[in-house]
Chain A
Amino acid sequence: MADLLIVDDDEDLSSLLAEVLEDRGHQVRVARDGRQGLWCVEQQKPDVVLLDVEMPVLDGPGMAYGLFISDLGRELIPIVLLSGAAQLARLAGRIGTPYFLSKPYPLEVLFDVLHRALTERSPPHAHHLLDQAAP
C-alpha cells in the first residue's frame, strides 16, 4: 500500500512495528539513526517517515532539518513524530508536522495517525528549525 520508513534506535520496537505494518500490507524499511534515515530517503523516497526524536549520530529534528534543506522534494515527505520525550507537542511544532504520538501509544491510534498522514500528506514546514540553525 505505502512505502514507510521507520527511524528509531530501539531495535525491538522498530522491528515489531515494521512487522505489524507489513502485516497490514505496507512496505517498510528501518533505519537506526537520522543519518541512516537520510541515506534510505536518498535511495528511495518513502511516502511517510515514522521518526523518533532522541537517537545517536543524528537525532529526529536533525534528520527533519536534513530533509528540509535538501530541497529535492524530500521536504514534502510527511513526518510522524513518535517519541517518549516530554514536550513532544512543542517539538512537533518546531518541526512543523501535525502528526505526532507520545510513546507508548495504542496501535489503533498509530494506524489512525498514519492513515491521516498518508491521505492528507501535510509536509512539515521546518522554518523554525532553519531559524535556529542560522547563526
Chain B
Amino acid sequence: MTALAATKGRVLVVDDELIVALDLQERLTQLGYSVVATVGTADEAVASASALKPELVLMDIRLKGGDGIDAAAAIRRERAIPIVFLTAFADDETVARAKRVRPDGYLIKPFEDRELQVVLELALFKHRAERDLAAREALFQTVLQSLGEAVVAIAADGTIQSFNPAAAALVGLEESAAVGRPAHEVLRFEGPPHELVLRDRLGSPRAIERTSRPLPIYEGLAGGEVLVLRDVSAARLEEARKSLTARVSDALAAASDEAGLIRAVAAQLASSVCDWCVIDLLGAGGAVAETAFAQAEAFRGPSRLGPLPVGRRHHQLTEVLLEPAAGSPLASALGLSAEDEDEAEAFSSRAVLSLPVPGSQGPLGKMSLGLRAPGRRLGVEAVGHLRDLAKRLGGALEKAQLYRATAAAVRSRDDVLAIVSHDLRNPLATIRIGLDALRASAAGADPSVSRKLTMMVRAAARMRRLIADLLDVATIDSGTLSFQSHRESLHGILQEVQESHAPQAKERGLEFAVSAPQDDLALHCDRERIEQALGNVIGNALKFTPPGGRVTLSAQVRPGEVELIVADTGIGISPDQLPRIFLRRWQAPHPGAPHLGSGLGLYITRGIVEGQGGRIWAESTPGKGTAFHLVLPAPSIDAGRDAASHAPS
C-alpha cells in the first residue's frame, strides 16, 4: 500500500502488442507510475477499469477484436477517469473520432519518455483540477441549497441564473421555472427599502430585507448581481405587535371611563389589525350596556356598517373564530338575535374573531374583529396577541370601575359632611335656643325640670362639639384645614386657656396651674386653633386625672420656637397604646372611663399643631401621669431681644 501511495498515479495499460505493452509498463514504472494491469482487448479494458479503478487509462486505438475509442467511451460512461490514446495512425478520420470521446491526451507512436511523462502528468493534473472544481461546486451548491436566505443570481442581461430552494419557497416558484426568466417578472418588489415587500406568485405580501452584491466581471464573462433576500415578516409582525400593544396601553392610560376605554381600543385595533371592530361592555343585568365601533380608514365598508345597539345579549362569551363569517353564527357572535340577521349581514366578512374581555370575576364584555380585505389574515400568534390585549382592556376596565366606585364613595362622604356641617346645625340651633329659653323661664320652678333641661343642654353642647370635630377631621384628611394666623401674645393665649379650664378643674377637685415665661413672646398663629389644640390636651388631662391630682401647663421658650407642656398626675397611657394615641378613633381603653369623646380630639390636635408648622408628642408613665409636648414655631419679630433674654444658660 505504501508503494501504491508513493506512485505518481495508477495506470491501466491497454495494448494488444505484448512487447509494446511490456515496454510501456517498464517505462511507466521508471517514470514513477504504477501499472495496475496490462490488457489487450476492449472487453478486458472495460472490465479492468471497473474492477481495478486506475487513475488513468493508456489506451491503444487499434485493438484486436475491438476499437479503443469505443472501449474508452464505455469506460467513461461508468467512471470519469482520464484516458490517453496511443496510436501509430494519425489519420484525420481517427483523430476526429477520438476527439468525440474527449480524451485527456494523445500520443503518436513512437514517442519519447519525456513526451509520455508530459502527457500523463497533464492528463492527471487536469483531471484532479476538474475533480476539485466539481467538489467545490458541490460544496457551493450544498451551501446554497441549505441556506435559509433566498439567494438569486441575476445575469447582466437581467435573467435569473440561479435560484436556491429558499428563493423558490419565498416566491412560490420552482428553480427550473425561475431560471432563465427575467428577474423583474419573478421578483415583484414593492414599497420603500425599509418596508420592502415581495409579492409571491399568489400575490401575498412578504416583508423582505434585501442585500445585493455585483457579480465580478471575469475574463470576458459579463457580471450581473447576487440578491440575498431575508423574509422578515415574523420580525416585522412582532415589531408591529409591540407597537400596537404600546399604542393600546397609551390609549388605555389616556381614557378616563369605561366608554372611553373601549372606544380607544376599538379605534386602535381597527387602524392596525382588522377592518372593523366592535367592543361590547356588559351591564349589571348581562345585556350590552356600552358599545364601541370603529372601522379601518382605508377600508370602505358598506354604509350600513356602524355602531350596534345597546341592550343586545351575548349568549356565548367564549372565543369564536368564523371563517368565512356570515349568517346566524355571525349574528350570534355579535350578540344579535336570529331576526337581526339583516343587521349582521353588513358585518359579514372573510373572517371574524370574537373574544371575551376577561375580568377577575368573569367576562366583562366581548370584542369582535372582522377582516374583509384579501391579504389580511389572523394567524395563531395574532389571536394570542389579541387575547393579551383583551386582558389588558379587562384590567383597565376593572380599574376604571374601581376608580368610579371610589369617587362615588368620596362624593357620598362629602355629601354626608355637607349635611352634618350645615343641615344638622340648624335643627340643633333650634333645640339649643328652645332649651335655653325654657331654662330661663323655668328658673325657680320644679328642680327636676330644671335638672332635665340642663342635661339636655349638655347633650346639645356635646353634639355641637362632635359636629365640629367631624368637620375638623374631614378638613385635615382632605388637606384643606386653613388657619387665620395673626401676631398673637403667648401670655394672652395662656391666660385664656387658664380661664376657660379653671372651672372644670375646680369641679373635678384638681389643681390646675399655668406658668407663663417671664417675658411675653409673639407667636404668628391661629389663636383659636391653638387654644382648641391646647384645650383638647388639657381636657383629656382633666378627665383622666383622679381628684386631688394636679394638671400643669408650662412654656419653655427657645430661639425660634416655644414648647408648651401639659403634664398631669393621672392614670397614664400604657407603652403599647402610646404610639397610637394620635390616630383617628383612638379611645383611652381605661376601664370605667366614660366614652364621652369621639376619639378624634388628639387626631385633630396633631392636625392643628402640624398644620401650624409645629410638632407634638407624649411621654407617659402608667399610674404616674402623662406629659404632652406641643412645639410651635416662634419666628420672633424682635429676634435680638429674645435671643438676649433667652440665651441658653
* Bound-state Cα–Cα, A114 to B264, Å: 63
- List, in ascending order, chain A residues with CB within 8 A of B422's CB: 54, 83-85
State which of B425, B431, B434, B436 has its C-beta within 8 Å of the C-beta of A84.
B425
**Binary per-residue interface labels of chain A (57-87) against chain B in the complex, 1 for a CB within 8 Å, 0 otherwise:** 0000000000000000000000000111111
Chain A residue nearest to B436 (CB atoms) is A107
A31 within 8 A of B: no
CA–CA, A4 to B641, complex, Å? Answer: 51
Contact B426 A13 (CB under 8 A): yes
Q: Hey, what's the 0/1 contact readout for A102-134 against B, CB within 8 Å counting as 1?
A: 111111101000000000000000000000000
- Give the residues in chain B near A84, CB-CB below 8 Å: 421-426, 429
Q: Which residues of A contact B528 (CB under 8 A)?
A: 89
Answer whether residue B374 sits at the interface, using C-beta atoms and an 8 A cutoff.
Answer: no
B433 pairs with A16, CB closer than 8 A: yes
Is B460 interfacial (CB 8 A cutoff)?
Answer: yes
Given contacts A17-B433, A104-B464, A107-B440, contact A85 B428 (CB under 8 A): no
* Interface residues as binary, A85-109 with B (CB distance below 8 Å gives 1, 0 otherwise): 1110110010000000011111110
B433: A residues at CB distance < 8 A:
13, 16-17, 20, 104, 107, 110
List chain B residues, Cβ under 8 A from A13. 426-427, 429-430, 433
Give the docked Cα–Cα distance between A108 and B432 (Å). Answer: 11
Q: Which residues of A contact B430 (CB under 8 A)?
A: 10, 12-13, 16, 104
B429 touches which of A54, A89, A104 (Cβ 8 Å)? A104
Q: Which of B421, B426, B457, B482 has the most A CB atoms < 10 Å from its CB?
A: B426
Decide: A90 and B482 in contact? CB cutoff 8 A: yes
B574 within 8 A of A: no
Given A12-B427, A85-B422, A106-B432, A90 contacting B484 (CB threshold 8 A): yes
In chain A between 28 and 76, which residues have their CB closer than 8 angstroms to a CB of chain B? 54
Q: In the complex, how many angstroms separate the beta carbon of B612 from the nearest chain A beta carbon?
A: 16
Could you give, for residues 572-593 of chain B, a 1 whenever the CB lies within 8 Å of some chain A CB and a 0 otherwise? 0000000000000000000000
A20-B433, A105-B432 known; A10 vs B426 contact (CB < 8 Å): yes
Contacts of A83 in B (CB 8 A): 422
CB of B11, distance to nearest CB on chain A (Å):
120
Residue of A nearest to B482 (CB): A87
Any chain A CB within 8 A of the CB of B475? yes
**B421-455 interface bits toward A, Cβ cutoff 8 Å, 1 = contact, 0 = none:** 11111111111111011001000000000000000
- Quick one: which of B433, B437, B471 has the most chain A CB within 10 A? B433
B432 to chain A, nearest CB (A): 4
Q: Given A104-B431, A107-B437, A108-B436, check contact A86 B425 (CB 8 Å).
A: no
A71 CA / B460 CA spacing, docked (Å) = 41
Query: How many residues on chain B are close to A (CB under 8 Å)?
Result: 25
CA distance A13 to B430 in the complex (A): 5
Q: Is the pair A86, B475 in contact by a Cβ cutoff of 8 Å?
A: yes
Q: Is the CB of A103 within 8 A of B428?
A: yes
* Dominant SS among interface residues on chain B: helix
A103 x B437 contact (CB < 8 A): no
Interface residues of A in 8-22 (CB under 8 A from B): 10, 12-13, 16-17, 19-20
Q: A13-B426, A13-B430 are in contact. Are A104 and B437 (CB under 8 A)?
A: no
A93 partner residues in chain B, CB cutoff 8 A: 484
Q: Is the CB of A107 within 8 A of B421?
A: no
What chain B residues lie within 8 Å of A105 (beta carbons)? 429, 432
Alpha-carbon distance A110/B440, docked complex (angstroms) = 14
Contacts of B471 in A (CB 8 A): 86
Cβ-defined contact, A85 with B421, below 8 A = yes
Within 8 A of A (CB), among B448-486: 457, 460, 464, 471, 475, 482, 484
Kindly provide the distance from the CB of A84 to the nearest chain B CB, expressed in whole angstroms: 3
Q: How far is the CA of A95 from the CA of B501 in the complex (A)?
A: 32
Q: Which residue of B lies closest to A84 (CB)?
A: B425
Does A103 lie within 8 Å of B425, measured CB to CB?
yes
Asked if residues B421 and A86 are in contact (CB atoms below 8 Å), the reply is yes
Which residue on chain A has the smallest CB distance to residue B468?
A: A102
Shortest beta-carbon distance from A87 to chain B in Å: 7
Q: Which residues does chain B contribute within 8 Å of A85, judged by CB atoms? A: 421-422
A13-B471 Cα distance, complex, nearest whole Å = 22
Residues of A within 8 A of B429 (CB): 10, 13, 82, 84, 103-105
Q: Which residue of A lies closest to B440 (CB)?
A: A107
Q: Determine the distance from Cα of A73 to Cα of B432 in the docked complex, in whole angstroms.
A: 34
Q: From residue A125, how far is it (CB to closest CB) to chain B in Å?
A: 17
Closest to B474 in A: A86
Complexed CA–CA distance, A85 and B433 (Å): 18
Are A104 and B428 neighbours in the complex by a CB distance under 8 Å? yes
B residues 386-438 near A (Cβ < 8 Å) are 421-434, 436-437
Task: Find chain A residues with CB under 8 A from B425 CB.
Answer: 84, 102-104
Q: How far is the CB of A14 from chain B (nearest CB, A)?
A: 9
Chain A contacts of B428 at CB under 8 A? 103-104
Contacts of A17 in B (CB 8 A): 433
- Closest-by-CB residue of A relative to B431 is A104
Q: Distance (Å) between the CB of A100 and the closest chain B CB?
A: 12
Residues of B contacting A108 in the complex (Cβ-Cβ under 8 angstroms): 436
Taking CB as reference atom, which chain A residue is nearest B435? Answer: A107
CA distance A47 to B437 in the complex (A): 23
Minimum distance in angstroms from A28 CB to a CB of chain B: 13
In the assembled complex, the Cα of A111 lies from the Cα of B140 at a distance in Å of 114
Which residue on chain B has the smallest CB distance to residue A101?
Answer: B429
Q: Complex: how many Å from CA A54 to CA B428?
A: 16
Cβ-closest chain A residue relative to B460: A104
23 of the cross-chain contacts (CB-CB < 8 Å) are A13-B427, A13-B429, A13-B430, A16-B433, A17-B433, A84-B422, A84-B426, A85-B422, A86-B421, A86-B471, A90-B482, A102-B425, A103-B429, A104-B425, A104-B433, A104-B460, A104-B464, A105-B429, A105-B432, A106-B432, A107-B433, A107-B436, A108-B436
The 6 closest A-B pairs by CB, nearest first: A84-B425, A107-B436, A104-B429, A104-B432, A103-B429, A103-B425
Q: A17-B433, A104-B430 are in contact. List 18 more A-B contacts (CB 8 A).
A: A10-B426, A12-B427, A13-B427, A13-B429, A16-B433, A20-B433, A23-B437, A54-B422, A83-B422, A84-B421, A84-B424, A84-B425, A85-B421, A89-B528, A103-B425, A107-B432, A107-B433, A110-B433
Interface residues of A (CB under 8 A from B): 10, 12-13, 16-17, 19-20, 23, 54, 82-87, 89-90, 93, 102-108, 110
